[in-house]
Amino acid sequence: MNKTYAKMPTRKRRVAKANKQIVIIAVLVALIAVCNIIGAINYVKLYRVKAVVPTFVDYQKDEPVSIWQQISDITGGENVNVLYNLAKCESGLNVYAVGMNATNYDRGFYQINSYYHAEVSDNCAFDLVCSTKWTNNMINAGQLHQWTCSDHI
């Protein structure tokens, strides 16, 4: 009998080894999925992601004011339609919106990226007045193309 042939594992051993490898891979995939879920839960807790807010309150008048009107008041009527449509497309008019990317995230009403615009704090990105002023300045500087939705406005 050939020695090489005698050392070869039987079909049963090969199948058992393959099954063991499949189980190990399945366990690793499940572990990665659990880690991603835990990371997402911690992210939501950390940034206190909230539900969509359809209108904001003007604290001077104590009555609901339309988002369009608030943008107009903040910018003095400048670029109101562009800003409104940009926010509607980017965040669905949700000042608390968070869009996760591979290594960074988009924040707030206008989905301001945390990596490319690190100069904008989270407090500003999630604040209607601050983010509207910053975005309006970017639009006036000819930077509207930086937003994904700029092609749809």
* pLDDT tens for the 153 residues of the chain, in order: 555 555 667 778 887 888 888 888 888 888 787 767 776 666 555 555 444 444 444 444 444 578 999 999 999 999 999 999 999 999 999 999 998 888 899 999 999 999 999 999 999 999 999 999 999 999 999 999 999 899 887
If one counts the domains in the chain, the total is: 2
Check: pTM over 0.75? Answer yes or no: no
| Dihedral of the alpha carbons of 90, 91, 96, 99, in degrees to the nearest 10 | -60
Residues 41 and 63 placed together within one structural domain of the fold: no
CA distances from 146 to 27, 137, 139 (A): 41, 13, 9
Domain that holds residue 69: 56-152
- pLDDT given for residue 97 in this prediction: 92
- pLDDT given for residue 5 in this prediction: 56
* Residue 79: partners with Cβ closer than 8 Å, 6 or more residues away: 136, 139, 140
Distance CA 136, CA 31 (A): 44
| Dihedral of the alpha carbons of 61, 65, 69, 72, in degrees to the nearest 10 | 50
Residues 41 and 60 placed together within one structural domain of the fold: no
Please report the beta strands in 48-104, taking only residues with DSSP state E, as ranges in sequence order.
56-58, 63-65, 98-100
Q: 113: part of which helix (H) or strand (E)?
A: strand 112-113
- Angle of helix 67-75 relative to helix 80-91, nearest 10 degrees, comes to 130
- pLDDT given for residue 51 in this prediction: 41
Q: In what order do the strands lie in the sheet with 112-113?
A: 98-100, 105-107, 112-113
Residues 36 and 97 placed together within one structural domain of the fold: no
- pLDDT given for residue 27 in this prediction: 84
